[in-house]
Structure 1
Amino acid sequence: MQMKMMGSLMAAALLSVVGCQGDESQTTEDNLGAQEAAAGTQCVQRFQGITSCATGNAQMTSTQAGLQVSGLKNAGTDGVSGTFARSTSWTQTAQIKFGAAQGGMSLAARAGDQTVGTLKLTPSRDGTSMVAQPTFSGSGAPGGSAYRVNVWNNGVLQGGGNQPAGSFMIIRDWWDLLRWVLAVYSFDNGYDIEIYKPGATQSAQYIPGACVWRVQNQLGTFSVQMSDGRVLQGNMVEFVEQIEDGHYPYTDFTAIDVKAAAESFAITGETFVPAK
């Protein structure tokens, strides 16, 4: 699997999801039909195979560079929902200008109308750090599944650790979250990195059903404060769902909702990998 300024512009972000598996009886047509049934919903097909629909108060304008999104006041309602065929991986690049300490983003991966994973990113008042809180629904428990944090630098693992369901991580030194942020976000539903030993590189092993959120800084490195006090530095952090006996993993998903409270938001690229 491949794989940030609050007051000004978040330059480019890539979001991706891999390895979650959903209810195959819920088709992409069902999702799209439900969205387009909403009065006044604006939908466009700017990126191949993806139907993007504005949610809440958001409005979209198709440009040569991608999709320009405005009207983002509430990170829980305003944004863009992209639907596509059953998939195992999704990636989006974006430019965001938060413009205020109240800015933030929320992301959700869905299989039909069922949410299989979320990621909330909230910039802190210092303008250089943010709180990241992932959730995964595979365990079926009210708090979701536990997860593992891995910090990578140019494809080399710097370290990580396990986190309980519902916990959050602090990402520090992300250049200037109040101005330009260049990032890559992704969501996958199959984990393909084999070992957790620091210094290891990515392998080809595939673990189906383990949903993964990734956030990558394309401007430089950042640091992640672990729960045991360690501080790890790298340019990508991933949150990997921990699949255990009795869990109900998702092998695919059909939509990603990206919502934000921001002055501006431009989607410059978006792709997905269809499920086999």
Structure 2
Amino acid sequence: MKKTSMPYAGRALVAVLLAAGLMAAGPVMAQNCVDFQGINHCPVGQAALDVAASGNGLIVSGLGSEGNDGVASRFAPTVHWNAMLQVPTGSASQSFDLSSISGGESTSGLIVEPKNGRYRVKATFTGASEASTYSVLVYRDGVLQGALGGFSGDPNPPAQGGGKASTGLGLRNVSQQIALYVDGFYMGEIEDPWWIWLFDFSISSNGGGCNWGIALASAVSVSLPDGSELEGDEIRIQEEVRGDGHYPYLGFESIEIRGTSDSFAIRQELAEGSG
């Protein structure tokens, strides 16, 4: 599988982006919608939207602690979307809930939330005719370094105090003292939280499976359950579609992002391709 590059200049300056998925589409306020970078945005819940005076960001504020507030990006049916989010420095309690919307229904998502001094992240997919699992693929400079498959959306945390997950894929950036684990990602020992998040979502033309992407600012050490070590700067979370039924969604028309820590900003965003 070839890596699909995320189209952002100055990528080396961007810290890891994780995103989170909400599996039920919530209420979107019809009023107070704004346009930013050619995409219509409407507040979700009690959030407020404001384009920065410099024009280089859409500020999403008024987020409560329950995870019900955020923004819905709306566009013509598409198959690929990506964005750069920024959170205030020191927002270690920020959770994100991100979902794709197809035909008015949530079909895929990522969840990222602080837990016991770490961030937990898991993927969920609902569009296939049967319950689907997902694979995690690790790349460096566009070259596949390793992959593991058969994960479900249920997290499988590592033992308290860190270490490798009992199953899944572990990532560790020693300089930042951050660890990630998959089958539920875990990102641990948070001292200086990342404050730029870069991610993408797409639907493949082969079977209609959904894919999430996480870009890293630079290569990090990757530890596999068998003890082998990899280096990677991009992670792809790829749905494994099973069953003979027709995949009901071949595109999506909205991405909803909710947060829990006062505010965040969308700095760059792009939706492209025909759904």
Scaled by the length of structure 1, what TM-score is found? 0.72
Counterparts of 2:273 and 2:81, CA distance in 1: 9
Which residue of 178, 198, 211 corresponds with 1:184? 198
Aligned residue for 1:184, secondary structure, equals strand
Counterparts of 1:11 and 1:56, CA distance in 2: 28
Letter matched to residue 91 of structure 1: N
Aligned residue for 2:209, secondary structure, equals strand
Scaled by the length of structure 2, what TM-score is found? 0.72
Counterparts of 1:125 and 1:98, CA distance in 2: 20
1:226 Cα offset (Å): 4.8
The aligned counterpart of 1:135 is 124
Mapped contact 1:14–1:91 kept (Cα < 8 A): no
Which residue of 118, 133, 136 corresponds with 1:149? 136
Which residue of 214, 234, 237 corresponds with 2:235? 237
Can you list the C-alpha shifts for 1:100-143, whole angstroms capped at 9, x where unaligned?
Answer: 554211110011311111011224544xx5322001113344xx
1:72 Cα offset (Å): 2.0
Are residues 256 and 228 of structure 1, via their aligned partners in 2, closer, same or farther at CA, if it must alter by over 3 Å? farther
Between the two proteins, the alignment pairs up a number of residues equal to 231
Letter matched to residue 79 of structure 1: G
The aligned counterpart of 1:202 is none
The aligned counterpart of 2:104 is 113
State percent identity of aligned pairs.
28
Letter matched to residue 89 of structure 1: H
What are the equivalent positions in structure 2 for 1:71-90 lying under 5 Å apart? 71-74=62-65, 76-90=67-81
Which residue of 51, 67, 70 corresponds with 1:62? 51
Unaligned runs of 5+ in 1: 4-9, 18-30, 191-205
Unaligned runs of 5+ in 2: 7-13, 156-167, 179-189
Counterparts of 1:241 and 1:266, CA distance in 2: 28
Cα RMSD (Å): 3.1
What are the equivalent positions in structure 2 for 1:1-276 lying under 5 Å apart? 1-3=4-6, 13=17, 35-37=28-30, 41-48=31-38, 50-63=39-52, 64-74=55-65, 76-97=67-88, 99=90, 101-126=92-117, 130-141=119-130, 144-168=131-155, 171-173=171-173, 175=176, 178-190=192-204, 207-218=206-217, 220-223=218-221, 226=224, 232-249=230-247, 250-275=249-274
Are residues 171 and 56 of structure 1, via their aligned partners in 2, closer, same or farther at CA, if it must alter by over 3 Å? farther
1:159 Cα offset (Å): 0.4
Letter matched to residue 189 of structure 1: I
Counterparts of 1:75 and 1:268, CA distance in 2: 24
1:35 Cα offset (Å): 4.1
Instruction: Name whichever of 117-126 and 104-113 sits farther off.
Output: 117-126
Aligned residue for 2:244, secondary structure, equals coil
